Structure 1
Amino acid sequence: MSTPTEVRMPPPTDHRAGLPTLGAEGTALLRLLDDTFEGWGHAAGATSMTAPPLLPTQDLARLDYYENFPHQAVVVSPLNLESAQGGSGLCQETGCFPCDALQPASLGLPSASCYGVYLSHEGRQLESDTLVTVVGWCFRKEEKYEGLRRQLGFRMREIVALGGQEHAEQHLATFSDRITAFAEALDLPLRKEAACDPFFDKGSSKAVLQRLVPVKHEFLFEDLAIASVNTHRNFFGDRCDISLAQSGGPAFTSCVAFGLERWLSALTRRYGDWDAAADAVLRARSAL
């Protein structure tokens, strides 16, 4: 089989960089993949929820989001019409609003779907181990954008575990095996690697801890991470006051994440077109 090239989207203009559009075939494949991953969650006992696309910046700050991911952060600001000069205040030369035309940005666009899950459970006491699945729009500022590989706005399906430490750890082990089996059925070569956030000071306690006990593993197709398994220990349980009824201590959490557009990129590169990629997914689903 010859090595195909990824199905390419039309080159975006500058103001649409990182915002490609999917047609009917791409949309159908994305829905097929999302249905597959959501189905894995339901089979494991997860309930579905819908998280908001925007979250208060003060809530994200409480979760160290802007400390840990400042390079990815995107915020939203309403227009300050009192300060805007000449109508909306839009600069005709750049197509952008100047800072004095914006109100303070109190809403953030999250880079992962799971933040809304933890915040929605804030102050709750869990009677038993819990699984939740959610899909949402996520946003990341990147140094450059590339087709379906790296986008400003993309969709992420997650399956999130909340509960005891054993529950959180078993969740990752189970779905790591599931991802590996699915990739084998797809004949999609993936490799699993420990990931360390590059913005940490290499000598910091966070960086040392990640090297000793990795909190994130990625599944890569070529050089592109299309899925990940992540343990947070009791960080979100502590910050969001999510407690365990049995012990009273903070809940442990973990999540499995699928970047849906990145899966489209990998599959179309592997199989050459939308139809062949969709057929491969259907065969793999039937084989598992």
Structure 2
Amino acid sequence: MAPTAREGQDLTDALVILDPERTDLVRELDDIFTGWGRAAGAREIIPPPIYPVSDLEKFDVYTNFPHLNLVAAALDLEGGHGKPSDGRFAGAGLLDARLGLPHATCYGAYLFHERRQLAGDTLVTLVNRCFRNEASYGGLNRLMSFQMREIVALGSFDHTQQVLAEFTDRILRFAEALGLPLTKTAATDPFFEEGGARALLQRLSPVKFELQYGDLAIASVNTHRNFFGERCDITLPGSGEHAYTSCVAFGLERWLSVLEDSHDGDPQRALEHVRTVAATGF
């Protein structure tokens, strides 16, 4: 298990406020990725930035990712003082933490379809704030709070795999045109309990691939098989079997970081380049 952030850790590099030029570039990138999803038939949904712990618990996030998770609680105004001390609220001054901050965007897509039967193969897109309690932070490359755009496929297994193949190819071609050659690298994500049949299947056949610029993953493509379909009781039409899912994820601040670096730290130049490349048909 990865180490957790240290008590009293300096959070200077953990959170950023993007200036107007950087914001313009992030918005442009998100519009491009959203446009790809819409062109493929995705409908957009808007998730909340926070969920009940009981919802996130369905996905084993507190078993498989305990070191990454952040939770939120209301102030205990009767038992506590209601004011911070030394930049923090002590646990005794808080009510039970019943809200969890997601570390991935796609959870909203499965919760939206919970206890529903799909009309057929389905594609949705959504963006959200994600939160990760890292052992250390590194500016735009590794933030506590960042934006992740996702395109999520739900339906048959063939549908989920076709979506991944098409978007993997598109991302690689787009990045190459931007002068950002990416490598597709197999990675692991503990969606499944260690020692179980699904965990063994993941080791035998990778379900997560990162698209990396150097050693930094700026996008990923992920197969979940029917894990989320089962956990949220999302079913297929006709057979009533649980749906398969997959997702394509874009770390927007990471794209900003590598584009800015490749243009000598000038986000305006990077923006102009992105618009020129996007206009060619990506």
Structure 2 length normalisation: TM-score?
0.92
Superposed CA offset, 1:130-173 (max 9, x none): 00000111101111111111101011100000111110111101
Tell me the distance in 2 between the aligned counterparts of 1:166 and 1:247. Answer: 16
* 1:66-81 superposed matches below 5 A: 66-81=62-77
Aligned-pair distance for 1:17?
4.0
Describe the shift of the 1:261–1:205 C-alpha distance in structure 2 as closer, same or farther (beyond 3 A).
same
Query: Is 1:143 aligned to 2:135, yes or no?
Result: yes
Residue in structure 2 matching 1:280, options 273, 277, 282: 273
Aligned-pair distance for 1:211?
2.5
Aligned-pair distance for 1:187?
1.2
Tell me the distance in 2 between the aligned counterparts of 1:251 and 1:198. Answer: 20
- Residue 146 of structure 2 aligns with which residue? 154
Gapped regions of structure 2 (runs ≥ 5): 1-8
What is the identity, as a one-letter code, of the residue corresponding to 1:39? Answer: G
What is the identity, as a one-letter code, of the residue corresponding to 2:269? Answer: A
What is the identity, as a one-letter code, of the residue corresponding to 1:35? Answer: D
- Residue 5 of structure 1 aligns with which residue? none
Tell me the distance in 1 between the aligned counterparts of 2:165 and 2:179. Answer: 21
Residue in structure 2 matching 1:224, options 208, 216, 228: 216
Describe the shift of the 1:248–1:207 C-alpha distance in structure 2 as closer, same or farther (beyond 3 A).
closer
- Residue 106 of structure 1 aligns with which residue? 98
Aligned-pair distance for 1:197?
3.8
Residue in structure 1 matching 2:84, options 78, 83, 90: 90
What is the identity, as a one-letter code, of the residue corresponding to 2:24? Answer: A
Superposed CA offset, 1:68-106 (max 9, x none): 111110100110111113xx2411xx3110010011101
* 1:34-53 superposed matches below 5 A: 34-53=30-49
Tell me the distance in 1 between the aligned counterparts of 2:44 and 2:153. Answer: 12
What is the identity, as a one-letter code, of the residue corresponding to 1:259? Answer: G
Query: Is 1:33 aligned to 2:33, yes or no?
Result: no
- Residue 4 of structure 1 aligns with which residue? none
- Residue 209 of structure 1 aligns with which residue? 201
Describe the shift of the 1:29–1:197 C-alpha distance in structure 2 as closer, same or farther (beyond 3 A).
same
SS state of the match for residue 139, structure 2? coil
Tell me the distance in 2 between the aligned counterparts of 1:285 and 1:131. Answer: 22
Tell me the distance in 1 between the aligned counterparts of 2:105 and 2:195. Answer: 30
- Residue 10 of structure 2 aligns with which residue? 14
Contact 2:102–2:130 under 8 Å retained in 1: yes
Query: Is 1:130 aligned to 2:122, yes or no?
Result: yes
Greater Cα shift, 33-42 or 197-206: 197-206
Contact 2:64–2:193 under 8 Å retained in 1: no
What is the identity, as a one-letter code, of the residue corresponding to 2:227? Answer: F
Structure 1 length normalisation: TM-score?
0.90
* 1:180-199 superposed matches below 5 A: 180-197=172-189
Query: Is 1:57 aligned to 2:61, yes or no?
Result: no
Contact 1:81–1:89 under 8 Å retained in 2: no
Tell me the distance in 1 between the aligned counterparts of 2:203 and 2:183. Answer: 18
Residue in structure 2 matching 1:248, options 234, 240, 244: 240
Contact 2:155–2:243 under 8 Å retained in 1: yes
Tell me the distance in 1 between the aligned counterparts of 2:109 and 2:58. Answer: 15
Greater Cα shift, 64-73 or 208-217: 208-217
Aligned-pair distance for 1:185?
1.0
- Residue 235 of structure 1 aligns with which residue? 227
Aligned-pair distance for 1:271?
1.5
Contact 1:89–1:98 under 8 Å retained in 2: no
Count of residues in Structure 1 that have an aligned counterpart in Structure 2: 272
SS state of the match for residue 21, structure 2? helix
Contact 1:135–1:155 under 8 Å retained in 2: yes
* 1:250-269 superposed matches below 5 A: 250-269=242-261
Aligned-pair distance for 1:209?
2.9
SS state of the match for residue 148, structure 1? helix
